[in-house]
Amino acid sequence: MLRMPIQVLAALAATLFFMRPLQAQRAPLPAGVEKICSLSFSKDPKRPARVENSALPCLQEVAEKLKQTPQIKLVLIGISHPLYDRADEDRGMEREGEDMTGTDIRFSDVAAYRAINTKSYLTQWLGSDPARIIPTTDEYALGQEVLIFSVPANADFFHNYTRTTPINESRCTITPCPNPDEDVLTPQPRSRIPTESAPASPK
């Protein structure tokens, strides 16, 4: 098998990133859709979907916006990167059930876990309404992020205004609920982030 140098792979990944922009960022955005901020997932390669301490300002911002603006919902868009998230490793291939430690996630699930773990933090620690937060993924984008958009309040599982793929959560909070026979994901536990550990949120 031909193996390309890592520098070549990185250059190819960067090219693909700019050639295939996020669905939700393709101009123009639909009316009522606004990007609020984004969370980075680049600092913990052993737990690639764990919400990082640096996420707190963004999480607090969107939780407050959701509380103060009843006419919106949130769409969380998880994205992953085959190079930086180590798609070549065989993580999770020997498991039948879910990995609640966050250290043995299949690459194909990394983006989805980033989104549902973000939703879990918002609902568990910041009191956000789970019925107003739609976790999704964008298979056409490369990165190590969750982007957070506000969308009109009539958004649902099948129509979220961002043209991204909704995630089947183990606990259905977004109607209509998906087919119960399909695979579902459960958020991984995360302790509360100390307020003194977080810098300003990226836009």
pLDDT one-digit tens code per residue, 68-111: 999 999 999 999 999 999 877 766 555 566 777 788 888 999 99
pLDDT < 70 positions in the chain: 1-27, 90-97, 197-203
What is the SS3 assignment for the chain? CCCCCHHHHHHHHHHHHHHCCCHHHCCCCCCCCEEEEEEECCCCCCCCCCCCHHHHHHHHHHHHHHHHCCCEEEEEEEEECCCCCCCCCCCCCCCCCCCCCCCCCCHHHHHHHHHHHHHHHHHHHCCCCHHHEEEEEEEEEECCEEEEEEEECCCCCCCCCCCCEECCECCCCCCCCCCCCCCCECCCCCCCCCHHHCCCCCC
pLDDT score of 136: 97
Is the residue at 203 inside a domain? no
Does a structural domain hold residue 24?
yes
Q: Does residue 202 lie in a domain region?
A: no
> Is residue 89 one of the residues assigned to a domain?
yes
Question: How far is residue 37's CA from residue 28's CA, in Å, rounded to a whole number?
Answer: 18
pLDDT at residue 95, as a whole number? 57
Is 79 within 8 Å of 102 (Cβ atoms)?
no
Q: What is the pLDDT of residue 1?
A: 44
pLDDT at site 187: 95
pLDDT for the residue numbered 24: 54
Is residue 35 included in any domain, yes or no?
Answer: yes
Whether 1 is covered by a domain: the verdict is no
Question: Which CATH number is 187's domain given?
Answer: 3.30.1330.60
What pLDDT sits at residue 17?
Answer: 45
Is 141 part of any domain?
A: yes
Q: 161 lies in a domain?
A: yes
pLDDT of residue 7: 46
Domain around 180: 6-197
Confidence (pLDDT) at 191: 95
- The pLDDT, as a whole number, for residue 122 is 98
Tell me what pLDDT residue 202 has: 59
Q: Do the beta carbons of residue 56 and residue 193 sit within 8 Å?
A: yes
Quick count: other Cβ atoms within 10 Å of Cβ 183?
10
**Counted domains in the chain:** 1
